[in-house]
Amino acid sequence: MSRVDATPERERLLGLVIDLVLREGVIDTSLSAVARSIGSNNRMLLYYFGSKVALLDEAGLRAFDRFPRLREMFVRLGDAGELEERLLAGWEDLSATENLPYLRLYFQRFGVAMRDTEQWQGFIERAGQQWVGWVAEVFQKEGYSANDSRAAAMQIIVLWRGLQFLLLSGVDADQLRMVYATGVRGLLAQLTPRTDFSPS
């Protein structure tokens, strides 16, 4: 958490760092290198952000806002309509070409965090829980139990993460789309809604 509230200068510096990490991927570089790349200095960045990890973590979080299709994906998952269709559309949103810079940044952050779990604890907790919670809510609204919803959400996230990795590795997008569709249909075929559920 920064010691300084949002100011125009802080926002300007943060915007430059976001540009930098999306363009060059500098999560695993020194604060001095980041400062030089954006025309600033260590002292200024530490004043506004407290530490290199805090700066880069916030930059990674705020980078998400630059990808509207990705940002709104969970809203669309919760919309009306067939659950299978919404889940399939979710992969289309997630894997869209315009989102690839963010996906690259995410995996880079994850790799760095695994080498220094204490410093990156906040990111690790979000990576392991946040998206699972959001997807589980979608399943619960469809009438599945809390336990089944969480298990199903974990399976969806596992599919997403694995397929994202393959997508970034250059595997054919159509092939990944077919694999995901098979996984979603198999998962839904195993689930049974609660008998006491009635849609609101």
Residue 184: pLDDT band with limits 50, 70, 90 = very high
Give me the pLDDT at residue 71, please: 86
For the chain, how long is the longest CA-to-CA vector?
Answer: 61
CATH fold of 68-190 reads Tetracycline Repressor; domain 2 (1.10.357)
Would you say 13 and 48 are in contact if contact means Cβ atoms under 8 Å apart? yes
pLDDT for residue 140 is more than 90: yes
**Which pLDDT tens digit goes with each residue over 83-127?**
999 999 999 999 999 999 999 988 888 888 888 888 888 888 888
CATH fold of 8-64 reads Arc Repressor Mutant, subunit A (1.10.10)
Residue 1: pLDDT band with limits 50, 70, 90 = very low
Would you say 30 and 93 are in contact if contact means Cβ atoms under 8 Å apart? no
Angle subtended by helix axes 83-94 and 173-190, to nearest 10: 150
Residues 31-60 have a mean pLDDT of: 93
Q: What is the pTM of this model?
A: 0.82
Structural domain spans, the chain: 8-64, 68-190
